[in-house]
Chains A and B, each alone.
Chain A
């Protein structure tokens, strides 16, 4: 007979694993990706493939030759970082810029802190914001959404709805177009419906909980709503804010990133509210037309503090004395 295995309890496991979670998120991103492919055509394909491949290759190289450990590219997290990075890029971005973004995302955003789980900031957003600051022109010229577009670098450009609002030009797309994603913008952020579909899938699969997305969206809605009520001519209605500028992509896929979000539900609510407030502040009063990336990164920085000071409710904790 084989030697018996002895281990402390429990002896069964849910079967959950890192790669299962990562691939579930990737699957949830598929609808938004398909919409991106439809509206931005060949450019979206080139950008996303470049981003994903370079993220995987960079992670492999760093783990193999710098850390000299076993590589973990099969767990899907590098692929996810790459795809999320691509979702935040315009589809007419030159390949060399994408590769730089991937290097920053994986090398600085993730690996310099010790790899998966140790990164304080969302790697894809680190890469994205780095590119946004370094190449502001290329990063803010979005191609016009044309179904099955075959042009890549020379695509006709269009402004995002938020830029139109910010700088007061052009006609805003119809609500229906905003929902489907028929507007200028980054590859993955345009289609609200596809992103919500993915979000519902993640909620059902229990990969994410509702706390962060809902608190973030509600905060944004309320904040912009109040401002809209005060001065409708200056501030557009809150539903436009919800549907544009990658807010849904950020709320469902970026802010809920495991490693960079707080560890308990109360802190997660605070975190979501914080992101919502900062996003609206940047959008309406800041220099950039959209601020989800910055808002998430800022709240990523606050996460350790939230973990330290906002503790989960304990079973049977003594009630605080009312004086």
Chain B
């Protein structure tokens, strides 16, 4: 009985002492902070991806609470819904932004782009890039080392072992831009997701002249300007033997896709045309 009593007293005293110390310390070192920051932070996705340009969600929350205008602040992960909540908390008007997604400006799969040598070293694009041009003859294209896959915090990017290039999961990609920074060849770009995910882009970054580019990769952009001529919206520019579709101007008419002789212009999430269905059936 005595033992039980004694242990109760001892443990109780230790607990009480600890509580008092904790209280005193927390009072003594209290940091006064704007309570809005906590509120904003709670509304954010807490992925800490840095896609907004701030070090983590907390940093973004601080910036939001201090801002007088939200037009330069955007959480790519949470998107417009989150920004609406944040705007409500800080009492500012929200600026709508079109959702974006990462696209790979290279389609140099194993099938399209023959391997000229075999890399045998640490699997990292940065290391390959520092060493030489990569396993193929195209020194603008994807190295397949998977730095983007490692950088992605949302499990949205995976190197397809068959094609050797990364594939982007539309559902999971939040356009945080981590992969864009990770790619040493600057192949990833954040582009508008488009209505129902419909989007058109040039899946090539090769700046070589047509012949050389085509030799290195079947689906390379050869800079022939056919798409440039056919585009009714002036959305395509040709620079350094490479076509580029300006996101803002493109109306998704798909004329360039049909015109491209190498098939380097990609369209995604378009319904399959009847003609194509018929062609496929024939084949």
Contact = CB atoms under 8 A, between A and B. Distances in A.
- Are A and B in contact, CB atoms below 8 Å, in the complex? yes
B127 interface: yes
A7 B131 CA distance: 8
B32 interface: no
Interface in A207-243: none
Interface string B91-133: 0000000000000000000000001111111100001000110
Contact of A7 (B115, B116, B121): B121
B122 A8 contact: yes
B118 A8 contact: no
B120 A5 contact: yes
A4 B135 CA distance: 10
A3 B118 contact: yes
B117 A8 contact: no
Given A4-B118, A6-B118, 14 more contacts: A3-B115, A3-B116, A5-B117, A5-B119, A5-B120, A6-B120, A6-B121, A6-B131, A6-B135, A7-B119, A7-B120, A7-B121, A8-B122, A8-B127
A269 to B, nearest CB: 33
A7 B127 CA distance: 10
B127 A6 contact: no
A187 to B, nearest CB: 43
Most buried by B among A4, A6, A7, A8: A6
A61 to B, nearest CB: 28
Most buried by A among B116, B118, B132: B118
Contacts of A3: 115-118
15 contacts: A3-B115, A3-B118, A4-B117, A4-B118, A5-B117, A5-B118, A5-B119, A5-B120, A6-B120, A6-B131, A6-B132, A7-B120, A7-B121, A8-B121, A8-B127
A3 to B, nearest CB: 5
A4 B118 CA distance: 6
A300 B116 CA distance: 49
A6 B117 contact: yes
A8 B145 CA distance: 14
Interface residues of B, number: 12
Interface string A1-13: 0011111100000
Interface of A: 3-8
Nearest to A2: B118
B113 to A, nearest CB: 14
Contacts of A8: 121-122, 127, 131
Contacts of A5: 117-120
A4 B116 CA distance: 8
A8 B126 CA distance: 12
A5 B131 CA distance: 13
Nearest to B133: A6
Contacts of A7: 119-121
Interface in B115-167: 115-122, 127, 131-132, 135
A9 to B, nearest CB: 9
Contacts of B127: 8
Contacts of B135: 6
A4 B119 CA distance: 8
B127 to A, nearest CB: 7
B208 to A, nearest CB: 20
Contacts of B118: 3-6
Interface string B167-184: 000000000000000000
B248 to A, nearest CB: 41
A281 B196 CA distance: 73
Nearest to B131: A8
Contacts of A4: 117-118
A4 B132 CA distance: 13
A156 to B, nearest CB: 44
Contacts of B121: 6-8
A5 B132 CA distance: 12
A3 B127 CA distance: 20
A12 B122 CA distance: 15
Interface string B29-58: 000000000000000000000000000000
B165 to A, nearest CB: 19
Contacts of B122: 8
Interface in B49-93: none
A8 B128 CA distance: 8
A300 B119 CA distance: 39
A5 B116 CA distance: 10
A4 B120 CA distance: 10
A7 B130 CA distance: 11
The 7 closest A-B pairs by CB, nearest first: A7-B121, A7-B120, A3-B118, A4-B117, A8-B121, A5-B118, A5-B120
A258 B9 CA distance: 48
A230 B93 CA distance: 84
A25 to B, nearest CB: 29
A4 B122 CA distance: 17
B203 to A, nearest CB: 25
Contacts of B117: 3-6
A4 B121 CA distance: 13
